[in-house]
Amino acid sequence: MTTEFSRETVKRIAELARLQVTEEEITTYQAELAKILDAFKALAELPLPEDLAGDARSAIIMAKASQNNDSENISRLRPDVINNSIQTQVFLEQAPEREGVFVRVPAILTPST
């Protein structure tokens, strides 16, 4: 089940991550990336009961709670609720620079080539 990464693939990943890698590091990363991908493939093959579908963290919490028969842990979970704590107009009034309904911020990314 070993996955292999070509040198070109490792170079492309490094380029996308804006990393400069040496030829020696490319060889090392080929093996390390293959191990990481194989580990994720093995995790994906683990059986998961249908009632635990969803994100992994929720599934793990639910599984532990059901194993311990501890309903208190399950009751601690809360649903995600969207809550705007600040009104848009109030937020925009506090912005140091804005263009209409947009907040102007300094650029942090350079254009990719």
Mean pLDDT of 2-16: 89
> pTM for this one?
0.43
Per-residue burial over 11-24, b = 16 or more CB atoms within 10 Å of its CB, e = otherwise: eeeeeeeeeebeee
> What sections of 1-113 are H helices per DSSP?
7-16, 23-44, 56-68, 71-75, 88-94
Distance CA 47, CA 43 (A): 9
Per-residue pLDDT of 16-68, as tens digits, reads 999 999 999 999 999 999 999 888 888 777 776 665 556 666 666 666 666 66
**Domains defined for the chain, CATH in brackets:** 1-46 (1.10.20), 49-102 (no CATH)
* Residue keyed to tokens 């191990």: 35
